[in-house]
Amino acid sequence: MKFIKKIFRFIFKIALWFFIISIGLTLIYRFIPVPVTPLMVIRLWEQAWDEKKDVRLYKDWVSINNISKHMPQAVYAAEDQKFLEHNGFDWKAMEEAWEKNKKGKRIKGASTISQQTAKNVFLWPSRNLVRKGLEAYFTFLIELIWSKERIMEVYLNVIEMGPGIYGIEAASQTFYNRPASKLTRQQAAMIAAVLPNPIRWSPAKPTGYIRGRQSWILRQMNNLAPIGFGS
């Protein structure tokens, strides 16, 4: 019995510290820039062990007020058109994805911007149930503690936008030689178009498929009411 009690005490302490640290970090990141993410560390490790790749980490945090209003509108149109309405989860999209997956159809994932932000800031890339459960937990936390504007700001600053390129300022400078505050509608839509796979695709060399996505995103940006974030 003593051994079992010790195990339960140990598990309880681990769980308690997990909640303290996770809630604490979420509170801190409500106010300060996220310095590094697990994905950035993983990519650096992969680069260091690949002789064909340069070790590169290009990121430059900028306030949402220093990001062109076209960029939040573009990812809103491309990634999550219910972003302002949901509490972090688009249950209808998840249900549709589940049904189509059962039929063997290849579709776009149903992750919201909030889920993607939680995954990028706190977790590692994986598809197992433990990771998905943690993603749901951190999504709930950021929706509870952060504003929608803060979620969008963090998302645009940490998301992978190319090999060793993270955040919209680094992407804007790399692909268009201009600050994120000066991005045009077309440029914002092009960056948003490659986000499903920024390692495979690049705004600098768009394929016909990516140009088609850009056109679709531009139409969606026109059809949706302004999200109201950015400069």
Average pLDDT over the chain, rounded to an integer = 91
The full set of domain ranges for the chain reads 33-223
Supply the pLDDT for residue 47: 87
Residue 116: pLDDT band (50, 70, 90) is very high
Q: Is the pLDDT of residue 97 over 70?
A: no
Cβ–Cβ under 8 Å, residues 46 and 53: yes
Q: On the CB side of 194, how many CA atoms lie within 13 Å of its CA?
A: 26
Cβ count near 127 (within 10 Å): 6
DSSP 64: G
Residue 101: pLDDT band (50, 70, 90) is low
- How much is the pTM? 0.91
Class of domain 33-223: mainly alpha
Residue 100: pLDDT band (50, 70, 90) is low
Mean pLDDT, residues 188-214: 96
